[in-house]
Structure 1
């Protein structure tokens, strides 16, 4: 699944670059940002429990795709932030948000037949912003580029660490 790996690599590269500036941003926090990149894809739970099944069980209209939007990601992040110690909540919220935002922005660049993306800013707006249509989620090229960038960041970080010692 090149799409999910690419999202993790993008979040890794961004968080690691930020760790150069902020000393508190250690490896466990980089992992938090990478976990945040998976949040919008919680919609994949639809593979186990279809929206129709949940709708029947709850007795109200329901669709998992709302999780793959700004509003759904914010709710998911809020749940994740509540699960950590209060002293860590700001940092965890920022890093989960960084990962989720990088995911949503990368997906906003996907190629769609309509030329428009999904309602990225839902529930604030139902607007489907235009997309440049750079790639498909199944294309391996974005993953290869993300892996190359993450590798360069990894090596540069190791070199910085050696120089500091």
Structure 2
């Protein structure tokens, strides 16, 4: 099974880390952004990778965990026009965007064709409200209230949401058996 990750920041890079460490062998990583120093508190990157495209840095980091993992990376901004084409060959998509408008676009574009795992409410430090909801082919994880515009992002909460998302993905039939 091939899993696409749309946005490889806090959610996307940590879900990818979990999946590769759990034995998932095929990932497609898509993002246009570069690693910045402000990302290092919650994303799977290192100080010597500042300035690299996140897709390229994550490819390096995941390949160090398992050199046999099949990683397809594309440095590209995802939008309504290219979203379906970018992920046509993926069985499940992880939404890892920062902006609500981008999250909505990806779900509206792909949810009737693919299984989508999304995050909503990853900011702040309180873990008590984290849960998941199923809506059609989507699984949405988070506290459903605390947006990035309302509170800072902390590693423990971002990675907890990523862990819940990873649990859902790994429980799907065929994920660990190609």
Q: How high is the TM-score relative to the length of structure 2?
A: 0.29
More helix by share: 1
Q: How high is the TM-score relative to the length of structure 1?
A: 0.31
More strand by share: 2
